[in-house]
Amino acid sequence: MVERSEFKTERLILRRWRDSDLEPFAALNSDPDVMEHFPALMTREESDDLVARIESAFPERGFGLWALEVQGAGEFIGFTGLSVPSFDAHFTPAVEVGWRLARSAWGRGYASEAARAALAFGFDPAGLTEIVSFTATTNLRSQAVMRRIGMTHDAADDFDHPRLPAGHRLSRHVLWRITADQWRASRC
């Protein structure tokens, strides 16, 4: 297993989580703008539990949802990375690339920059053959990141999220994909 606990992009550091991230992470998890496409805002306890679950994946898989920091500023702005969906769907088992940034960090290209680094780790040292990403159909900002990093969408892959009740406003999800071959071709 190849493990990566920290790496840099042009402007960012992707790293393991620190205790000092818990407070700003809880703040973004309780921000209605950030959580618009999630079923509910998170309490401090739920947010801290999520960090514990995220951290527990690293030793098991060698990758995870890395905490994101802006180089120089030392400012925690959210996460980007790779995770394994814990529900069954037509595309699982799979590895997903995902992101969640503080509202103040949107519109700077940080999510796409970090996601490209996560794909590079997933396809090269980690040797994955495909990475997916999914979100509620309404989450156009997230889908714009998927498009920017070279993923493609086929409506035939869309699905109803099994953890949400039928008819929930966020139930319908889009699935985007990129294979290792597509990723390699896009870098030529």
Pick 115 or 128: Cβ nearer ligand COA: 115
Interface residue with ligand COA among 101, 131, 174, 175 (CB under 6 A) is 101
- Of residues 27-56, which lie at the interface with ligand COA (CB under 6 A)? 34, 37
Written as one letter, the residue type at 35 is: M
141 binds ligand COA (CB under 6 A): yes
Q: How far is the CB of 150 from ligand COA (least distance, A)?
A: 12
Stretch binding ligand COA (CB under 6 A), from 18-26, 52-60, 97-105, 164-172 = 97-105
Interface residue with ligand COA among 23, 107, 140, 163 (CB under 6 A) is 107
Interface residue with ligand COA among 65, 111, 117, 151 (CB under 6 A) is 111
148 binds ligand COA (CB under 6 A): yes
Three-class DSSP category at 184: helix
Under 8 Å between Cβ of 133 and 119 = no
Pick 15 or 148: Cβ nearer ligand COA: 148
Dihedral (CA of 83, 52, 166, 142) sign: negative
109 binds ligand COA (CB under 6 A): yes
Pick 125 or 159: Cβ nearer ligand COA: 159
Give strand ranges (E) for the chain.
6-8, 12-15, 65-70, 75-83, 96-101, 130-136, 152-153, 159-160, 172-179
Stretch binding ligand COA (CB under 6 A), from 67-75, 99-107, 164-172, 180-188 = 99-107
CA distance 188 to 186: 6
139 binds ligand COA (CB under 6 A): yes
User: How many DSSP H helices and E strands does the chain contain?
Assistant: 5, 9
Beta carbons within 8 Å of 29's beta carbon, 6+ residues apart = 35, 41, 42, 46, 47, 50, 100
Q: How far is the CB of 175 from ligand COA (least distance, A)?
A: 11
Beta carbons within 8 Å of 141's beta carbon, 6+ residues apart = 106
